Structure formats: C-alpha cells, structure tokens
Structure 1
Amino acid sequence: MSFQHGVYGSEVPTSVLTPVEVNAGLPVVFGTAPINLASTQEYVNKPVLVYSYHEAEQALGYSDDWEKYTLCEFMDSHFSKFNMAPVVFVNVLDPKTHKTTETDKSIPHANKVSKINEEGILLDSLVVKLSEAGQPLVKGTDYIASFDENGKVVITAVEGGDIPGTQTSLVVSYDKLDPEAVTTTDIIGGVDGSTGEYTGLELINQVFPLFRMVPGQILAPGWSQDPVVAAVIKAKSSNINGVFRAISVVDLDSSSEGADHYTKAPAWKNDNNYTDPLQIPCWPKVKLGDKVFHLSTQVAGVICKTDADHDDIPYVSPSNKNLQANAVVTESGAEVSLGLDQANYLNSQGIVTALNFTGGYKLWGNHTAAYPAITDVKDSFIAVRRMFNWINNTLILTYFENVDDPTNRRLIDSVVDSVNLWLNGLTARGALLGGRVAFLSEENPTSDLLAGIVRFHLYLASPIPAQAIQFTLEYDVSYLNTLFAAA
C-alpha cells in the first residue's frame, strides 16, 4: 500500500441488489419464411430479434400464404392484431437446400414487361434469354428484375438493351423456394457434428447469448400439432441454457385425423403426451375475416398484452382476455360454436380454447397441460406456473454476479435482504400474496458448504385466478314486512 497522509474515501458494492429485468413473455417462434423476399438471406437457422412488422418483413420477407410460410401468420397476428413487440424468429427454410429448379420456361412479354407467375423465386438465380438457344441477357443492362407486391418477379426491359420492342416472349430459368420440402426434422433441428452449427429448435439456447433476453414462450405454429415437435419444444422449454425456463404454447390437431370435435380433444391430448406443466395446449383455430390463425399464435399475443398491462409481471391469467377473432374453426375450416359448458369441459382437461360468451371472442382456460393429472397449484395454473418461471429466471440473472464470491455472512445477508425487499415489493403491487427467503441450516449441510454449494429457500404464493365466482341467492321473507310500512 502506498504512503498516505490525510483523509481518504472508498466504496463498497451496495448490499441490496436491484433485480435484473426479464421479459416475461418473450416469444421465440420457429417456422418457415419467404426468405427470397427479404433484404438479405442471412436469417436461415439464425435467430433474429425484431420490434416491428417492417423489421420482420425486411429480415424474413412476408407472404399471405401462411400454409407455406408459417412465420408470416405470427408476424401478422403479433404486430398487426395485438401490437406487441419484440419477437425472436427462427426461419428454418434454407434456400440452398429447400428449392426446386425451373429451366427454359417461356413467359409472355408485352409493353416491355414480363411477369413470372410464381412465388418463391430466388432472384439471384434468375437467367433471362430471348430464346432457348439464345445467350443470357445481362441484368441491369438489358433488363431489371424485381418483386411486385404479391411476391411475383417482374422483368422490365431496359431502354437501349438487347430486348427488342417487338419481343413477345422471354425464356427464363430460376430456382425457387420449396417450403413443402421442409419437414419436422428441420424444425426439430440438431447440431452438426463436423461444423458445430445449430439448427431448428436447438437454436433456443442462442437467444440469450445473442440478445441478453430470456425466452418466455416457445412456439411453432403450423408444426406444434405434431407430437414429436411438441415433445422437443417441451424438452427445450424446461432447460434453456441449462438454467432458464419458459412455457411452450402448442396446438392440438383439429383435423379429421386428430380431434375435429371438442369431445375428441382430451383423448388426443393425452394419447399424444401433451401433458407437461410447461405446456399450454390450444384447440382449435380462430378466424378473423378470411384469415385463419392457429390458436397458439393468438395465445402468445394475449399473454404478451396481458403482461404489458401489468408491468411485465406474469401474475395475471390470460384467460377471459380478448382474442382478435370472429369465429372458431377446425383444420378443415368448419366453424365450431362452443357453449360455456363445452368450453369448460375442455378447460377441465387442461386445454385452452376460444369462447364467445360476453364481450366477443375470448381466450378461455387457466390450466396447463398437466391438469387434471397434476393438481399442484404451481404446475396446474398457467399464471402461477409462469410466475414461478419468471421468479426463477430473474433470480438467476440477478445473482449470477455473486457466483464464486466468498461464502460468508455478508453474502448470505445480501441475498436474503435483497430478495426479501423484492418479494415485499411484488406483494405490495398485488403480484404476490406473500413471499420470503430463508437460509436454513438443515438445507445447507457441512458437506455441501465445503463443496461450495449454498442454498436459499423461497416461500411464495402468487394469486390464483378466480375462475369460479359463485353467488348464493335466498328469498328473505322478512322483506314482506315492507308491504305494511307506512306510505
């Protein structure tokens, strides 16, 4: 220590830590996108964080053909219908492998303009000739190629180029996206043994390292009705980066091969193992105008909007909150009209649905997929399960900086005091009924302390949805005496 003469000051870290904010409902969505329409084809098996419809369209492209391009459904719903952000998208449609080739196709040419009446064309692969035997024309010199508002390629002759004004047809060759070549294997993904590259659902572990945001919901609309995909999503949601937890919002198959009637849905759910506390199973689909949405897509929007209305604390159930829908349909498009008793039957089997009872179509159901087999409140109620996830994720991020600190009273008191202050604040806001943390000797044996393991025990209770409000009506005969009261 250097020689000192005088008065000096120093600082120590604040003993009470401020909790790190966690995005409770951040959706991470897997599927396919018309990547040929994007400003770059960079986002193939690579997570992209977007905050607006425009950003999503620039990064991934957009098409109204949601059967082929499943991510576009979520873009439309989340940004246009619910006005929520952000979202992490993962597109698995790879233009290098999921493509077909068209060779020497003749198309009409009139008034210096031609149109290729197909979607999915990879513009960089386009070759334009005057005839099959002709030489390729030069892009930018002889013609300009661009996409119209419907994703079709328009070829315009350049003045002074080699396309004669009298030309009536052009011959084109190109590659185009083949979204039908994408399979559940691509959605599930894996790790390349030689390159170490991650694909599909394995990329969930890259979300936090890339964006410093913890996934709150994992979805794959259009794919999650496949039990194998749902099983992998379930596995990923319970162990993100080895420490975090999220919920998986999945759809039950509402086709004739699955459950096209509400009475079939519970059996299909159980037979295909949609039974995990971290799953929210949805049945069937919803419709707004001429657009049909997987219910999981709109559930994500409802969850995010509900969280946003309550300071991003997920203690309020998404049930009985408005959907953006004016009909309920099955996979075939047949309309479904559920009464309260029928919707409650689905709820009693751990399935959320859509109900048009009062105030328009609303999401209906409080229970996770684990119900009714599991009735533990933290695993059976969606709102309670999400609160446990959120508290777990928040504690991990807040106290990760204390890992490897000396195990002494200062560390223990700092954690206990900080967590108790935080829990008291949540209680005061109504997000918890109560909560406390304790450092218990019986949970910290000497052998664990010698191994550097320190355990804190949290006791907490989050509000349970008031899903059944009952009134008892009784005729009180004493009020007959009012008939004899003086006028």
Structure 2
Amino acid sequence: MSCIVIDGAFETDKEDAATILAGIKKIDGHWDATAILNCDAAPDHTGKPCISEDAVVTMGFIKTGANILPLSAIRAGLCARSDAEYGAPARSGGNLVIPNAEAWGAYDSKSFTAMPISETLATSLSAEGVCAVVNYSGTYRTWGDHTSLFAAGAIADERARFDNSIRMLRSITNRFQLKYRASIDSPFTLQMRNDIINEQLDYLNGLVAKGALIGKPTCEFRAIDNPKDNIQKGEFKWNITCTTTNPLKYAYVSVSYTSAGLDTLVEEG
C-alpha cells in the first residue's frame, strides 16, 4: 500500500514543502506517505524546495493539448499505474513514457514557455535530486530516480538513494497497519504472535518472487523490542529487515577485438 501526496499548487516553495512534509508522517496516526513536489523549469536546481527522503522533487510542466500539467502530478499518476502493474512500488519513477506530451517547459499560471532539455542537463539535475524529463525522438519520458535527499551526486542514507526504495519500505509498514488493525484489542496469544510472523514472511517472500525485494527478508518478534513495560501496556512490535531492489541505473558493455575470426578465411573446407 503506497501513499503518494502531491501539492495542490503548481509550484511548491520551501515553506509549503516543510508544511507538507510534516503532515505526511503517520497520517491519521497510521500511514506513511511520500510527497512529489514541483518547481518551475530552470537550467539548475536552485528552485529545489526541500532536501528530504520524504519527497521527490520534479521540475517543469508538460503541455498536452490544451492542458498544462505540473510534472509532479504526471509522475504521481505514472507511479500509481506502475505500482498497480507490479503489485508493489517496485519500480522507480524514472524513464516512464509521458503519454501525449507535446512539450516541457516553464509556466507562470498564464502562459507556457516550451524549453529544450538535453539528456545531459536532465542527468545533471538528477544528480542534485531533481527529476525532469528527456525527449527521445519526440517521446517525453520522466528522468531521475532519486529522492530529494540526494544532492551533489551523493546520499547520506543508502535507504533513501532511490525513490522506489523509500516507497517500498513504507508500503510494507502501511500494509502491516491495514492488515492487522482489525486485530486491535483481540487477545494477544503466542499463536497470534507466530501467525503474524508467518504471514509477514509469506508476504515478503512474495515480494522477492516478483522482484520488489531481493535476498532473504526476515520478520522477528524480539525481546529487545518488547520490554515487559510495553507488554504490560499492550504494545507489541515486530521487526522486519529487507533489501529493496535497485533500478538499473547504468548499463555498460565492453567490446574487445580479437583476430581469431580471421583464421576462418584460410580454413580448408
């Protein structure tokens, strides 16, 4: 269960970004969300409204016919569709085709100004944690797969390097809340404890099978997380460890020359 929040305004300033980010943590006491916030098109990242693992920052606007849409809204819709296809937020929001896109550029609420953008510029923006677009032969695609915590080509917390990693982890906690909220106030027995562990392991292994996680995830009910004082208050905690699946960020091939093939020219039939 992945929650995405976008700003209702076409552009997000730093003050509004701070308000939004404060409001998406434990929504209604339960749900963890990720924000997608937009800044206007510019050849640099100076308009970036936040530096946070809780947000993806997009840049610019897309023209589709008579409509001018912030890239944040478009990316949110594409991510939601991708989540539905995978059954989990396994894919990053980068390199997704933007349907019917005619141009990318700046918008001041009155007029749209189309702007060219090269892959070099889009990649340099991505290195600053700003997601823009690329134009491949007339087809616009989202470009950039980092959270806004990413800056100067580096990240302080590997967990937040890619947008799908954060959304995947929060999807797991959200599902736990949704799955077991009906069990609140039921008798907490050893059977319930073990049933939850086993169900979570089945779910996590299912995510591995579909490529949303890699390795061997675990779910434990540990004594260190459940001191007697908490148990007396009816507070119980399970601990899940898992590894999210990184996107194919770069792909290289090395081609070497060999003269061995020349021998076939003089081979006797």
TM-score > 0.5, shorter chain as reference: yes
Q: Is the 8 A contact 1:221 1:294 kept in 2?
A: no
Report the equivalent of 1:204.
Answer: none
Change (3 A) 1:358 1:381: farther
For residues 343-358 of structure 1, the aligned pairs below 5 Å read: 343-357=122-136
Q: What is the alpha-carbon distance in structure 1 between the residues aligned to residue 235 and residue 184 of structure 2?
A: 10
Partner of 2:170: 389
Structure of greater relative contact order (alpha carbons < 8 Å, 6+ residues apart): 2
Aligned counterparts of 2:147 and 2:261: Cα–Cα separation in 1: 47
Q: Which residue is 1:320 aligned to?
A: 95
Larger Rg: 1
Inter-partner Cα distance in structure 2 for 1:289 and 1:407: 57
Contact 1:221 1:251 in 2 (8 A): no
Deviation digits for residues 40-73 of structure 1 (CA, Å, limit 9, x no counterpart): xxxxxxxxxxxxxxxxxxxxxxxxxxxxxxxxxx
* 1:399-430 superposed Cα distances (whole Å, 9 cap, x missing partner): 12333334432221111111111112222222
Q: Residue 86 of structure 2 aligns to a residue in which SS?
A: coil
Q: Which runs of structure 2 are paired with 1:3-42 in the superposition (5 Å)?
A: 22=1, 24=2
Deviation at 1:351, TM superposition (A): 0.9
Go from structure 1 to structure 2 and tell me whether the alpha carbon gap of 1:221 and 1:353 turns closer, same or farther (over 3 Å shift).
farther
RMSD: 2.1
Q: Give 1:415's match in structure 2, choosing from 190, 196, 200.
A: 196
Change in Cα spacing, 1:359 to 1:395, as seen in structure 2 (3 Å) is farther
Amino acid at match of 1:307: D
Task: Tell me how far 1:223 sits from its aligned partner.
Answer: 4.5
- How many pairs are equivalent? 262
Q: Which residue, 134, 140, 143 being the options, matches 1:361?
A: 140
User: Compared with structure 1, are the counterparts of its residues 221 and 471 closer, same or farther at alpha carbon in structure 2 (3 Å cutoff)?
Assistant: farther
What amino acid is the match of 1:235?
A
**1:225 counterpart residue number:** 12
- How far the C-alpha of 1:236 sits from its partner, in A, is 1.3
Partner of 1:253: 40
Match runs of 1:420-431 below 5 Å: 420-431=201-212
TM-score by length of 1: 0.51
Residue 268 (structure 1) aligns with: 47
Per-residue displacement from partner, 1:305-335 (whole Å, max 9, x unpaired)?
A: 2122223x11112211111312111125332
Give, in whole Å, the separation in 1 of the partners of 2:254 and 2:166.
31
The residue identity in structure 2 corresponding to 1:231 is A
SS for the counterpart of 1:292 is: strand
Q: 1:378 & 1:485 partners in 2: Cα distance?
A: 57
Unaligned 5+ segments in structure 1 are 1-21, 25-215, 255-260
Q: Show the counterpart of 2:231.
A: 449
Aligned mates of 1:227, 1:296 — CA distance in 2: 16
Report deviation, 1:441: 2.3
Deviations 1:428-481, CA, capped at 9 Å, x for gaps: 222221422011223323333334332211011221111111111221232332
Give the 3-state SS of the residue equivalent to 1:330 in structure 2: strand
Q: Which amino acid aligns with 1:383?
A: N
SS at match of 1:232: helix
CA distance in 2, matches of 1:224, 1:454: 41
Confirm or deny: 8 A CA contact 2:90 2:212 kept in the other structure.
yes
Q: Please, which of 249, 263, 268 is the counterpart of residue 481 of structure 1?
A: 263
| Corresponding position of 1:304 | 80
Counterpart residue type for residue 240 of structure 2: L
Task: Give the corresponding residue for 2:254.
Answer: 472
- State the match for 2:24 in structure 1: 237
What one-letter code is carried by the residue in structure 1 that aligns with 2:169? F
- Which amino acid in 2 is paired with 1:484? V
CA distance in 1, matches of 2:201, 2:265: 59
Which letter does structure 1 place at the counterpart of 2:69?
A: F
User: How far does residue 346 in structure 1 lie from its aligned partner after superposition?
Assistant: 0.7
**Structure 2 CA distance, aligned partners of 1:223 and 1:360?**
23
Aligned with 2:82: secondary structure? helix
Secondary structure of 1:390's aligned partner = helix
Cα displacement string for residues 344-364 of structure 1 (whole angstroms, at most 9, x for unaligned residues) = 101111111111125711011
SS at match of 1:262: coil
SS of corresponding position for 2:217: strand
Q: So what's the TM-score if we normalise by structure 2? A: 0.88
**Given the alignment, which residue of 278, 298, 316 partners 2:54?**
278
Give the distance between the partners of 1:294 and 1:478, measured in 2 at CA. 56
Letter in 2 for 1:423: L
Alpha-carbon separation, structure 1, partners of 2:120 and 2:6: 28
SS at match of 1:383: helix
Residues 302, 321 of structure 1: 8 Å contact kept: yes
State the match for 1:337 in structure 2.
116
2:233 and 2:144 map into 1 onto residues whose CA distance is: 45
In structure 1, what is the Cα distance between the partners aligned to 2:38 and 2:187?
47
Identity %: 24
Which structure 2 residue ranges, 5 or more long, are not aligned? Answer: none
